Amino acid sequence: MAKAVETSPDLVLSHLDSLPTLPAVALRLLQVTAWEDSDARDVIRLLRTDQSLTAKILSVAGSAAIAAREPVTTLEKAVPLIGFAGVRSIVLANAVFDCFARGGGVHPQRAFDRLEFWKHALAVGCAARRLAGRLARLKIDPEDAFVAGLLHDLGKVALDAVFPKAYDRIAARANQSRGDIADGEREILGVDHTVAGRRLAERWRLPRELQEAIWLHHLAGDALPDSVAHPALIGIVQLADTLAREQRIGYSGNHLFYELSPRLAERLGFPVEPLAAVVAALATDVAGQAALLELDAETPQSVYVKAMGRANAELGRLNADLSTSNRRLAAGARYFRASTEFERRLTDWADPAAVVTALAGAAALAVQRPRVGAFGVREKATTVDVSWYDDDPAAAWTTTHSLPAELAAWLGAQRERSGTAVVSAPSPVRSLFSAVMGPANPGSPWLLPILHRGVIAGGIVYLSETDELARLADETEELRSFLASLGLALGRANAQAAAQRLSEDLAQTNRRLQQVQTELLRSRTLAMIAEMASGAGHELNGPLAVISGRAQLLSAGIQEPDARRALQTIIDKAHECSGIVSELMDFARPRPPQFGTVDLHAMLSDVRGESLEPRGLAPSRLRLEAPAPGAPCGALFVLADREQIKTVFHELIANAADAVAENDGTIVLRYQPALQEDTLEVLVEDNGCGMPPAVLQRAFDPFFSHRAAGRSRGLGLPRAYRIVEAHGGRVWLESHPGEGTTAHVLLRRARPT
């Protein structure tokens, strides 16, 4: 059963304790070879307790003595020839390799290739040995440098041994992203190989300088803590690791180079020419060391060929990545130019139709097509703006019309979209451009959906003979960003249009509310005045009757002419006052309307004829204009009391006649269907003197008159107002000084019987 991976660093490190320890003879040999007063006989005595180590020492000594032409067949000859440091490196290398089973078996499908990992470790060790040999001033034994280089990535193989599945996943991710395997180690396991290697080195009781090299070999020299005992050894291992990775020898899992070898060599004071010699000998060194440790059958040529193969593969990947990057950069530049063109075509407060027009032009640049269609769905999905961009400006157009039912159904069936940014255009979308995308045009129709808040707000449609899914695969991210910016623009335009409509609606509502408040106040005022007039009429009728009767009695008994004339004046004025009281009573309590179906044109014709002679108007100065013959309204009828409504228009014409008296102007009676289907509107228009705002505001107030004194009691318009109100209609005035006045009368419409 596979072991679960722990994410706590302490728990992960605790699993390293399950790894085997170094053999006792190896630990003892490491101690003895490190003592200054050790004798070769002590080392030889320990080696003889392990036949495999004895054979390995004799093999290495025999190989080393080839140049000296001196056969080596005993440990007494081999140990002095190799030296304590050499014995220590051979013992430690074999012990570590045995702990991790050298190649770890053949697993061709594994991302972490342990055999190639050990070749990388040998390359670092061999490079470190040669670097230490050429940097004698640092006083680092070349064999100690070899061991430090060999074990610098000990934590990687340790983590792979404890968590094989997780570590293979980490290596696969690093190989795919061409990154540093340590980043994946920290993300998945919580610790990286440097910490794990140090933990294992401490458990194996390796020398302090090896622990430091394993732990800190990724740090630059100026970043090392002051407590580090051997910074020069760490610098040599870091340079050797960089050289091995630059030459692509073996597998390290780290594909990043934070600093290249010339810079690291300069920091150590290592000249460039000897560095080239170290690189030139590296393949031979690795092949020889691999053979001595029985790691693999390698030759310098095979090491070199494999390194060149990895370098060529890396170069191929880099070229492919560069080609992809260039294509994406070109696509990004194209979409940026398209976005810039889109912004250039827009104003700050462009409406949705203007946004769609600009969108089509920018899309043509983005998709590199001479003819492109675009559409945008208005708020609440009731209308759609459609624009066609053409390289021939005369063929371009933009329209706004109701959203087709088929397109509305398709939009309603869509959900929050993901996946490809381009799809084959569905039939409801193609139908928007049927006039310009017919069968004669080559290519298949494609749709780039434009989303806003997860909902399709519009789209770009164009014809292409290529597979757009494959063509746009490398620029999907840039295309999505471009479409997202268009979606924001469509959403902003819809929001601005909605805000403007709301503002207009609020303004209209405020105007209507103000009118209703004014009309309500006027209705209440008229009602109060009517009640007062009714009461006053009752109170005045009695005294007026007494005054008139007494004056008549007195007049019958007096013969003197002057007295009779005075009494007659009293009688006449009493009758005049009685008439005023009767008028007030009619205003206060008008007769309830007797509703019937009234032919509006016939009634207005009668009013016109009855108004000409009394008002002194020529027929040409009082015209009746009916809707044009054949208009869809046909004959128009209102539900009204014919005589009362005639009184209303007589009053309005009387006021208009006074207004045009001084300039010989004209009066026009016009009627038409109103915005509300159940009403008709009659207009009485004059081009007379007009009314200033102060007069217009009080035009319907009782007893208010702007005429000369004695010409009116100011009850005509208020009476007309009360009659229209009793009919369930509305009446209002529009006037401008010097331009004339228009009276609007809304009446309920009736169907002819």
Q: Does domain 593-750 have CATH number 3.30.565.10?
A: yes
Q: What is the pLDDT of residues 585-605, one digit of tens each?
A: 666 667 889 999 999 999 999
Beta bridge partners of 638: 598, 749
Please tell me which of 8-22, 438-452, 479-493 the model is most confident about, judged by mean pLDDT.
479-493
Residue 690 in contact with residue 739, Cβ under 8 Å? yes
Q: What is the pLDDT of residues 374-426, one digit of tens each?
A: 999 987 778 999 999 988 888 899 999 999 999 988 888 876 555 568 888 89
Please tell me the predicted confidence (pLDDT) of residue 2. 41
User: 443 vs 739, which has greater pLDDT?
Assistant: 739
Buried b (16+ CB within 10 A) or exposed e, 726-737: ebebbbbbebee
Of 570, 575, 576, the residue nearest 553 (C-alpha): 570
Residue 661 in contact with residue 633, Cβ under 8 Å? no
Q: How far is CA 467 from CA 365, 421, 423, 476, in A?
A: 19, 13, 10, 14
Q: Which of 250-264, 286-300, 595-609 has the lowest mean pLDDT?
A: 286-300
Could you give the percent of the chain with pLDDT greater than 70? 85
The CATH code of the domain at 105-298 is 1.10.3210.10
629 pLDDT more than 70: no
User: Pseudo-torsion of CA 176, 182, 185, 188, nearest 10°?
Assistant: -70
CATH number, domain 341-494, options 3.10.20, 2.60.40, 3.30.450, 3.30.460: 3.30.450
Confidence class for position 36, pLDDT limits 50, 70, 90: low
Domain ranges of the chain: 21-99, 105-298, 341-494, 593-750
Please tell me the predicted confidence (pLDDT) of residue 135. 87
Residue 182 in contact with residue 196, Cβ under 8 Å? no
User: 447 vs 465, which has greater pLDDT?
Assistant: 447
> If residue 445 lies in a helix (H) or strand (E), which one and from where to where?
strand 444-452
Return mean pLDDT, the chain: 82
Residue 668 in contact with residue 625, Cβ under 8 Å? yes
Let me know if the fold of 341-494 is the same as that of 593-750. no
Please tell me the predicted confidence (pLDDT) of residue 680. 92
Give the distance, in angstroms, between the CA of residue 314 and the centroid of all CA atoms in the same chain: 38
Quote the crossing angle between the two packed helices 300-345 and 476-557, to the nearest 10°: 20
Q: How far apart are CA 357 and CA 397, in angstroms?
A: 8
Amino acid sitting at position 315: L
Q: Under the phi-then-psi rule, with left for phi > 0, alpha for psi from -120 to 50, and beta for the rest, what region is 220?
A: beta
Please tell me the predicted confidence (pLDDT) of residue 312. 61
Mean pLDDT on 85-93: 76
Return the number of other C-beta atoms located less than 10 Å from residue 229's C-beta. 11
Q: How far apart are CA 337 and CA 421, in angstroms?
A: 19
User: 531 vs 483, which has greater pLDDT?
Assistant: 483
Q: Under the phi-then-psi rule, with left for phi > 0, alpha for psi from -120 to 50, and beta for the rest, what region is 205?
A: left
Residue with tokens 């104003």: 347
List phi, psi (to 5°) of 655.
-65, -40
Please tell me the predicted confidence (pLDDT) of residue 67. 46
Mean pLDDT on 167-190: 89
Encoding tokens for residue 752?
């002819």
Please tell me the predicted confidence (pLDDT) of residue 601. 92
Alpha helices in 589-641 (DSSP H): 600-615
Please tell me the predicted confidence (pLDDT) of residue 35. 66
Of 149, 119, 152, the residue nearest 133 (C-alpha): 149
* Integer-rounded Cα radius of gyration of the chain: 53
Q: How far apart are CA 404 and CA 33, in angstroms?
A: 91
